[in-house]
Structure 1
């Protein structure tokens, strides 16, 4: 994988998975909790996994532990991204049930949200995904957060903890996000879409190139 990872999230079809992979994505995110505009079923994730060699990320929101385990195993995901109110006890039990990499989303309203997440979860998860806060949507809202506010405490995040930046990223602003926040991974959903369930190859290509400073 490249030094800076790129995650294309909200993948719903094998065709989009292949396009994202060919254009340089390092992770393919799939919304596997139901009831969201980009949700897919675990067997649809299996179809994506059959054509994609890129690691799959199962995005889950407040599932029971048994259901989270079932979905992750069925989908073939190597990364579980928890995007709800899951606590440290939940994370530790999920880790005991499988060999997944676990990322926990933090909806950032102010830098203290990040500090609290590092203090509360930093030893139990492999990465923190910093996302914009929205009152009604756990993710994929296209809402950003104050990069400058988080930048001042970026060095407080342990180097062993991967930092994934999401929230309102587009081909036009991802280079600035990388410069300000120095993430390990950048994550995009709506910023590379043709419509709510289909990706735009041109936008994906531009996002990847701009994130990595290739143009």
Structure 2
């Protein structure tokens, strides 16, 4: 089972989490987020030898994302806004792999989705908040998802519900599990021991 730790920001913390070899690590370029890394942030690729870095955005211009990908050092992007298919296609044409995040609260949210993104990420809908809610949605809603694209499961994932999420992966095409606020000491700072315990559980599967 692949896994992702999102909302990284502190350099030393990033290095410690990277040693646990998550498949993906997310860095957020959205000013409204408490995990915003800042415009001049460059991903420490020397730390991420076995981890794919992902740039996370909310309604940012395509050209800006492409420019930043070259400067900051990512080839995967995660989009949490109202991005259209043509914007996703432009990012893919530029060589970027695109994850489209969908906020979920009822079955309609996962129905009739486009085939354009490479992956979907399903997170919990909570007002206008785009990710990082620390809450999980009703996973029974996933039965309404019929597009067939593999997806990343997010929203309140923790050590406590990890085994249940792993069982869920036997039923649905879950590409990876995404951990963020439930493994934090504070916004942007991960509890390394908590992440280590998660990595050990996942290694058993």
TM-score by length of structure 1 reads: 0.86
User: Is the Cα contact below 8 Å between 1:110 and 1:149 reproduced in 2?
Assistant: yes
The aligned residue for residue 97 of structure 2 is 101
Q: Which of 153, 175, 179 is residue 184 of structure 1 equivalent to?
A: 175
User: Is the Cα contact below 8 Å between 2:112 and 2:147 reproduced in 1?
Assistant: no
| Deviations 1:129-185, CA, capped at 9 Å, x for gaps | 0000011211111121111221x245x242xx2210000111111221221244110
User: Is the Cα contact below 8 Å between 2:122 and 2:154 reproduced in 1?
Assistant: yes
The aligned residue for residue 89 of structure 2 is 92
Q: Provide the C-alpha distance between the structure 1 equivalents of 2:175 and 2:45, rounded to a whole number of angstroms.
A: 24
The aligned residue for residue 48 of structure 2 is 52
User: Is the Cα contact below 8 Å between 1:32 and 1:71 reproduced in 2?
Assistant: no
In structure 1, stretches of 5+ residues that fail to align are none
Q: Provide the C-alpha distance between the structure 2 equivalents of 1:213 and 1:148, rounded to a whole number of angstroms.
A: 25
Q: Provide the C-alpha distance between the structure 2 equivalents of 1:139 and 1:212, rounded to a whole number of angstroms.
A: 26
Partner SS for 1:36: coil
Shift of 1:43: 3.2
The aligned residue for residue 10 of structure 2 is 13
| Deviations 1:57-98, CA, capped at 9 Å, x for gaps | 0001000112121222221112100011111121112222x2
Q: Provide the C-alpha distance between the structure 2 equivalents of 1:178 and 1:212, rounded to a whole number of angstroms.
A: 11
User: Is the Cα contact below 8 Å between 1:14 and 1:52 reproduced in 2?
Assistant: no
Shift of 1:42: 4.4
Q: Provide the C-alpha distance between the structure 2 equivalents of 1:113 and 1:32, rounded to a whole number of angstroms.
A: 25
Partner SS for 2:22: coil
Q: Provide the C-alpha distance between the structure 2 equivalents of 1:55 and 1:200, rounded to a whole number of angstroms.
A: 20
The aligned residue for residue 139 of structure 1 is 131
Count of residues in Structure 1 that have an aligned counterpart in Structure 2: 201
Partner SS for 2:151: strand
Q: Provide the C-alpha distance between the structure 2 equivalents of 1:43 and 1:51, rounded to a whole number of angstroms.
A: 18
In structure 2, stretches of 5+ residues that fail to align are none
Computed over aligned residues only, the root mean square deviation of the Cα atoms, in angstroms, reads 1.7
> Which segment drifts farther, 181-190 or 203-212?
203-212
Q: Provide the C-alpha distance between the structure 2 equivalents of 1:180 and 1:81, rounded to a whole number of angstroms.
A: 23
Shift of 1:116: 2.5
> Which segment drifts farther, 167-176 or 203-212?
203-212
Partner SS for 1:202: helix
Shift of 1:188: 0.8
